[in-house]
Structures are given as structure tokens and as C-alpha cells.
Amino acid sequence: MSKRLRLLIVLAFAGTAVWFLVPTFRWYVQYGEEERARANASRDQVRALSRQEAQDDLAELKWLANSDLSTEVPADLEYTIDLARDRLRIERRDLPSDWTVGDVTTAFPSEAETFSDLEGHYRAQITALKDTRDASVQLGLDLQGGMYVVIQPDLEALEEQQGRVLSRAERSSALARSLQVLENRIDQFGVTEPQIRQSADEQIIVEVPGAPDPERMDRFILGKGRLNFHIVSEEAIARFREYQAANPADFLGPDGQPADPSVLQAGELLRGRYEKDVYGVDQLVGYTVIFEQVGLEGTHIQSAQVTPDPFTQQPTVVFRLDQEGGDIFFNLTSENVNNVLAVVLDDKVKAAAVISTPIRNDVVVSGFTEVEARDLALVLETGALPVPLEVVSQQAVGASLGEDAIRQGVRAIAVGMAAVLVFMLFYYQLAGLIANLALVLNLFFLVAVLSAFNFTLTLPSIAGVILTVGMAVDANVIIYERIKEEYRLGKTAGAAIQAGYAKAFWTVMDANITTFIAAVALSYLGSGPIRGFAVTLSVGILSSMFSALVISRLIFDFLTETLGMQRLSISWRRRRPREQAA
């Protein structure tokens, strides 16, 4: 491989690593507590915050406009100039040379449009913060904390479903299967290093690292995913709408059904129709009436995939039914051609469509956001929970190690790293400086890979990073000692480097490959902290081999072949035995 190709490869890796590390750098270095709090806000909180700040800015803008239209736009409202400029460009109007409050206010057709654009600005700002958080390296429970959730299995409801009292063994089996389903769901959702255990009083404790996200936690821990298909009763909808028009104030009873039971007949149920707003929050947009009898249960769904609609590009969920489910759905759709089929998720009508032709195996459903569709597909694929679950409490918890322990650990890492760098520089001179540079780049690439896969960093993971540093130094030591042997035989600097790398190559490869195999086995068979340690070790081994065999070799070749260096500074003992003997 030529030096130019190796240089291009190194530059490509470095550029990609910088790209992946930017979110981590911004999240932990540039952003303060206020930005992190905004990023961790729920969708309801984001909506309230965006609207409040947009309202405040609109009030300030109106006050300035009423005072003096020629006033310059203040610094905290300069973003409105960009919004106004976009409006004028879309409408192909002339842009002012110097923006004033009057120019900004007249760019919008109405106060409502102004408020909408201001709200959109803050919504996009918080969404960008969330994207940065999700693309950065996360810290585990021991370093940062996370969410501590207590779940109570409703075993009494399970007994009512089966019509008998469960034995102790059956209760234990149901809890064990619930734990397994939860572990599968959390793994599928990409949450790393979770801790799931059963307490003595039959409660389930779930600890998930990272920023608190109660909404998503509800979706996959409770994860009812109770998706059923029902036929819509058009006649009942007409009766209900007449009743609603006659009683606009109190048409619903405490059970969510019409206050007058005679409005609906036996076997008919009133359900709300919900759509997502721009924040991803369910909004009630109306009501529909479905037949209580389930046309098809979600348990017949064999697999689920998220694909974009070819025309609207909106996310859709494609459900693949099993053989029995396909037969049931084919009969259902055959008997109800030109009727409306409703998709009911956890008692909410999420979508409805007219049945035009009979359908057998594949069901395409829209009406979900991309995240919700992906989450729903994962919940359905991982299986139904054998026991109804109820969240008793959710709370954010701090780092389990404590701030003092974390501070001491970081200090130990820094001291150890500094000691290694100083030793290499002292013992191997210029070659030690090259090894240190390769070592720093090794850590740089390692963190970039962890950031690219949104890895959760815990104390065992950091131990894997430290072991990687030791192995990277070990590879350089092996190579350098071989180079020194060749150099003492009287070879030139370039020839000694070439021979040293060639003879040390398989020694370095054998040592790293065996460790890599062990790390892969640990990551496959282990769980929790063991898997975190194994993953960082695996990535670190690949990164250290690249830095030791490619980057440091490229620097040596540049010094000897491009710059013409004749003497090799690779040890504080500079003697060459053959020269002194002569």
C-alpha cells in the first residue's frame, strides 16, 4: 500500500471521526445546564416552553412596534430577521437593506402567522438539542444516573383472565416471562447497560441509564402495544353525532361512553380519534364508533417493519400476519368491502380506511410518527406481556458511584495516561513521540466509534478503554524493539523500520486477535457491565491495531523517505554496537 493511499485512509478516518464526535463535544463542552434541561424535556413540556417563549417574544415585538417602527431589532430578537427574510423571499418581495422592527412586523401577514413562525423557531431549536443529545456518547447509571422505574405486575387480573387461582410456580413463571419480554424490548430499543431485576415483593425494578424520558419509557416498558382491528359502525356514528350536537356540553359519561346509554346499541363502543401534532403529542380530533367484537387481534402479527409511503413519504407500519391471522383477516375484509376498518391502539383510534379489496397477509397502517411506528413495531415483534403491568413510580436517579468516586476515577485515568505518555517519550525519544501521537489518535477514533453508535459509557466500559491503551502501547513496544534490533545490525533507518514492522506484524496480530476473540465472546454471551466492557475492548483493539500498524508506520515513512532522516531516534541508548566495534 502506497504512502499516499495510507494518508488518504487516515485522513478519511480522521474526518469521519470528527463528524461523529461533534455532537458529543457540543453536548458535554458547549452546552450548559439550561440547554441540557431543554433537551431532556418531554413533548408536552417542549410544546409549553416553545409557545411561552414565542408568546413573550411576540409581546416584546408588538411593544417595540407600538413605540417606534424604526427601532433596530434587539439582539434577543435577531432570529426574527431570518424568519422575516424567508417570508419575503417566498413571496418574492424586496428585502430591506437595514432591518427595523417595522420591517420585521410587516413581513408577516398576521399576528397568528408571526406567532406560528416564532413557535416553530423554538421548536426547531429544542429538537436540534435533542438530536445532539441522542447522537452523543451517553453516560451510564454509575457515572450519570438515569431513570429508576418500579413496576407492579397485576397478577390478580391474570387470575381473573384465566378464571382460577394461580399457583406459586405459575406466578413465578409469569413474572420470569415478563422480565424476559422487558429485557428483549429494552435491548431492541437500543438502550444499553440496563438493569432489570425482580424484588422480593414481586415488583420489577428497571434502571435505564441516560436522560429521563418517561414518555418513551411508558411505550416500551408498559408497552401494551394492544393493537386490534375493528369494523366501524357508520349508523352508530350518525346517531352519536346527532346526540353530540344536541348535548354539546355534557355528552360523555365518566366511562368515556355517551352519557345516554341508549345512543349506542349493545356491542358498540365509542372511541376517540387521535392524531399527532407537530410536537408528536396525541391530540383528540373527534370520535368514532366501532363494533366491540375484535375483527383481528394484534397477537396474529408475525413481524412488523417501518417503511415510508411511496407517495406521501410518511412512515407506515407493514404488519405480516401468521397463517391463522391471514385467514381471519381475509374473511373479515371480504365480508366488509366498502366498510371502514379502524386501527385501535390501546383504545385510541389511530387510523381508519375504507376496505376496497380483501386483504390476506400484509397489512399497511399509517397514522403514526416515525418514532412511534418504529416503537410499535418493536413492541409487537418482541411479544405480548403475559401479565398486565402498572408503573408504580418513575424517578430520575443520580450517579450510583457518587461525584467523589467519579472524580477520583477520572483523576486516576488522567494520571495513568500521563505516566504512559511520559514513559514512552522518555524511553523511545522521537519514536515515543510518534507512539504518543498514535495513542491519542487511537483514543480519538475509539470515542468517535462509541459516539457513532450512541454507546453508553460506564465504569467497566472505561476499564475497557484503559486496557485498550495498555495494549496499544504494548504493540508499539513490540514493534520498536524489533526496529532497534534491526538498527543495531547496521541497517539504515528506513530498512530497519521496514524490517521491524514486517517481523513484528504477526506477533502484534496474534496477540490482538486472541484478545479480540475473547472480547467478542464476552459481548455475545455477557450482559450489562460485562457487555459494555467487551464492546469497548473490541472497538479499542481494532482502533489500536490501526493506529500502531498504519498511522505510526506512515509517520516513520514520511520522516525517512520524504524528509530523508538518516538517524533513528528510538531509544535513550543511542549506541549502535557494530559501529562502536568498528
Residue with cell 451517553: 138
What CATH number is associated with residue 161? Answer: 3.30.70.3400
**Could you tell me if 419 and 533 lie in one domain?**
yes
pLDDT bracket for residue 367 (50, 70, 90)? low
pLDDT at 455: 77
Q: Work out the average pLDDT over 520-547.
A: 82
pLDDT at 581: 42
Contacts of 485 (CB under 8 A, 6+ apart): 500
pLDDT bracket for residue 578 (50, 70, 90)? very low
pLDDT at 546: 87
**Could you tell me if 185 and 266 lie in one domain?**
no
479 compared with 377, residue with greater pLDDT: 479
Q: Work out the average pLDDT over 484-503.
A: 85
Mean pLDDT of the chain: 80
**Could you tell me if 565 and 464 lie in one domain?**
yes
**Could you tell me if 216 and 275 lie in one domain?**
no
pLDDT bracket for residue 197 (50, 70, 90)? confident
**Could you tell me if 423 and 527 lie in one domain?**
yes
Confirm whether 439 is domain-assigned: yes
Sheet holding 340-345, edge to edge: 282-291, 268-276, 348-354, 340-345, 227-231, 296-297
- Residue 507 confidence (pLDDT) above 70: yes
Confirm whether 258 is domain-assigned: yes
- The contacts found for 422-425 with CB under 8 angstroms, 24 or more apart, are 424/473, 424/476
Q: Work out the average pLDDT over 384-389.
A: 66
What CATH number is associated with residue 546? Answer: 1.20.1640.10
**Could you tell me if 118 and 232 lie in one domain?**
no
- Residue 427 confidence (pLDDT) above 60: yes
- Residue 437 confidence (pLDDT) above 60: yes
Q: Work out the average pLDDT over 264-269.
A: 88
Confirm whether 477 is domain-assigned: yes
- Residue 572 confidence (pLDDT) above 70: no
Annotate 513-535 with three-state secondary structure: HHHHHHHHHHHHHCCCHHHHHHH
CB 568 within 8 A of CB 432: no
Query: How far apart, in whole angstroms, are the C-alpha atoms of residue 536 and residue 468?
Result: 8
Confirm whether 166 is domain-assigned: yes
Contacts of 81 (CB under 8 A, 6+ apart): 73, 99, 104
| Of the candidate ranges 74-78, 336-340, 413-417, the one whose mean pLDDT is the lowest | 413-417
- Residue 415 confidence (pLDDT) above 50: yes
Cα dist from 581 to 423, 486, 489, whole Å: 30, 16, 12
Domain end among 102, 136, 170 = 136
Q: Work out the average pLDDT over 534-547.
A: 87
Domain end among 356, 384, 412 = 384
pLDDT at 580: 43
**Could you tell me if 438 and 573 lie in one domain?**
yes
**Could you tell me if 254 and 313 lie in one domain?**
yes
CB 193 within 8 A of CB 458: yes
**Could you tell me if 406 and 378 lie in one domain?**
no
The range of the structural domain enclosing residue 370 comes to 227-384
DSSP symbols for 412-467: HHHHHHHHHHHHHHHHHHHHHHHHHHHHHHHHHHHHHHHHHTTPEE-HHHHHHHHH
Confirm whether 26 is domain-assigned: no
> What's the pTM?
0.70
Confirm whether 271 is domain-assigned: yes
Q: Work out the average pLDDT over 9-26.
A: 89
> What proportion of the chain, given as a percentage, has pLDDT over 90?
7
pLDDT at 214: 62
Over the stretch 274-319, which tens digit does the pLDDT of each residue have? 877 777 777 888 889 999 888 888 767 776 677 777 776 677 777 7
CB 409 within 8 A of CB 398: no
- Pull the grid cell for residue 207: 434502571
pLDDT bracket for residue 579 (50, 70, 90)? very low
Over the stretch 79-106, which tens digit does the pLDDT of each residue have? 999 999 998 888 888 888 888 988 888 8
pLDDT at 582: 41
| Of the candidate ranges 86-100, 377-391, 501-515, 551-565, the one whose mean pLDDT is the lowest | 377-391
Which amino acid, one-letter code, is at 458?
T
Domain end among 397, 420, 437 = 397
- Residue 186 confidence (pLDDT) above 70: no
**Could you tell me if 305 and 435 lie in one domain?**
no
- Pull the grid cell for residue 28: 458535554
Q: What is the dihedral of CA 381, 384, 390, 393, to 10 degrees?
A: -30
517 compared with 304, residue with greater pLDDT: 517
Q: Work out the average pLDDT over 448-466.
A: 79
CB 20 within 8 A of CB 539: no
**Could you tell me if 446 and 542 lie in one domain?**
yes
pLDDT at 121: 93
Tell me how many domains the chain contains.
4
pLDDT at 252: 86
CB 191 within 8 A of CB 210: yes
**Could you tell me if 275 and 197 lie in one domain?**
no
